[in-house]
Chain A
Amino acid sequence: MGKVYGRRMYISAGGTDISTYCNTSTFDREAEVDQVTGYGVDDHVYDADGIRDGTFEIGGVYDDTAVTSPNVLFDGNEGDSFAIVRRVQGTGVGKPQQAFTAILKKYVETAPVAGHTTWSATFQKTGSVVKTTQA
């Protein structure tokens, strides 16, 4: 297997599989770097101070039937922490998995008159990401 389509993505929040309600997800990770440029050089020099950060954004189609759909999990629960599990290659033995805790910063519902009602949620990662291989 080489290149992977996004349709294989698995996402759970608070132990609930929400994959079938999602059609987009972005996981941004970054490291803080400090400038340590000294005299006598022509280019800036940076050093990573070891502190990392990340945001996780997901979105999809609003579902009015399921008890465990994202609108039920997230609406009104802004500020709550969720255990996130992300499998970018999908579920299967030997495939990668990332698990982390994230705080729900923002939840948005959009309802265009001539299209699907959609939702989106933005999370702030807190603490480390645990990377494992699925068994």
Chain B
Amino acid sequence: MNLGDVMDQLAARLDTIAGLRCFAWPTANLTPPGAIVLYPDDYTYDLTYGRGSDTLTIPVLIVDGKPSDRSTRDRIAAYANGSGARSVKQVLESGTYAAFDDVFVRGVEFNPVTIAGVDHMTALFTLDITGPGSG
């Protein structure tokens, strides 16, 4: 799989969620609410013989507003929901991709982070991806 193509196509699919600005690489210029496709946690070769398949574990980070705001909670809840128009899991798993075969949104973790002195609530999704080993 071409890692750049994988990250591009994930970001393009996330971009269909209304109001979510999406980036296919870890950018420093993010205005929340936004989603960033991060570099893989791991890229494992040879799921099958003959360079048939490889696997990736890719994190997708959503950065939203102040953790103490109700509107932040409502948006994060919609992204983390297992279904719905703004569900990261539903949107990504229902997509059709050329760069890989299938994606499984395994889970999400929630953490507040401080960026440039401002507190933001984040949701970190873990994606399992399987695709061709050659090409």
Contacts and interface: CB of A to CB of B under 8 A. Distances in A.
A60 B130 contact: no
Contact of B49 (A7, A65, A114, A116): A7
B70 interface: no
Given A114-B104, A114-B106, A19 B49 contact: yes
A76 to B, nearest CB: 23
A6 B106 CA distance: 29
Given A61-B53, A116-B130, A21 B48 contact: yes
B48 A60 contact: yes
Contacts, number: 43
Interface in B37-95: 46-53
A10 B48 CA distance: 11
Interface of B: 46-53, 101, 104, 106, 130, 133
Interface of A: 6-11, 17, 19-23, 60-61, 65, 114, 116
27 contacts: A7-B46, A7-B50, A9-B50, A11-B49, A17-B50, A19-B49, A19-B50, A19-B52, A20-B48, A20-B50, A20-B51, A20-B53, A20-B133, A21-B52, A22-B49, A22-B52, A23-B47, A23-B48, A23-B49, A60-B48, A60-B49, A61-B47, A61-B48, A61-B53, A61-B130, A65-B101, A116-B47
